[in-house]
Each structure stands twice: as C-alpha cells, then as structure tokens.
Amino acid sequence: MGQAYLTDYFYIAGFTVIGVVFVSVVLLTSKLLRPNKPSPEKLSPYECGEVPIGEPWVQFHIRYYVFALLFVIFDIETVFLYPWALVYKRLGLFAFVEMFVFLAVLAAGLIYAWRKGALRWA
C-alpha cells in the first residue's frame, strides 16, 4: 500500500514539472516572437478610454489591505470548518477539541483586530 502512495506522488511531481516546463516554454516563446515597438502612447496607462488624471501610483491606506487580509483569513476558516462539520460524528472527541482550539485561536485574532480598530472601515 505504501508503494502505491509513493507512485501517486511521483505522478503528481511529474505533472507539476511538466506544467512548469510548459508554462515557461510558452512564456519564453511569446516573449521571443512578439513585436516590441514601444511608443509613448503604448506606455501610457489605460483608464477606460479617458485621459489619465494625476499620478498612476496612488498610495492606499494600509487599512484596506488589513481588511482584505482579515477577510481571506476568515474565508479560509470556513473552508476548513465545512469538511470538518460533514464528518464530525466519525472523528470523535479529539477532533472536536482540536476544532475548538482552532476556532479559539481565530476568535482571539478577531478580538485583537477588533480592539485595534482594524475592522473600522472609515
């Protein structure tokens, strides 16, 4: 049974290598074959056909990034929580305690972010 798992991992590694080589070859080929004639009009930023106003590099407040990161973290929590809930009865008490610890750590992070004001949008 162990040999079958090892063979499966070799297949996964082989497909990963083939995928990386394929993407690299396609990107290198397209870079070599594409025309490269930059002009000031091609190098200007495109904003839906409108003339750009102001600088193209605008600095955003860090709060937007923190808010998005918190959303991703709690979205991933849902991804882990759903399969656990489907097989909860088969896993037993150990899995319940482990998921409780997982949720407690995430709740502590949420409380910390809340107290620091990271959840206030404006």
Q: Which tokens belong to 2?
A: 């162990």
Domain 2-116, architecture per CATH:
Up-down Bundle (1.20)
* pTM for this model (two decimals): 0.47
pLDDT per residue over 58-102, tens digit each? 787 777 888 888 888 888 888 888 888 888 888 888 888 988 998
Question: Is there a contact between 77 and 109 (Cβ–Cβ < 8 Å)?
Answer: no
CA-based angle 109:112:116, to the nearest 5? 140
Least confident of 15-24, 41-50, 70-79, 113-122: 41-50
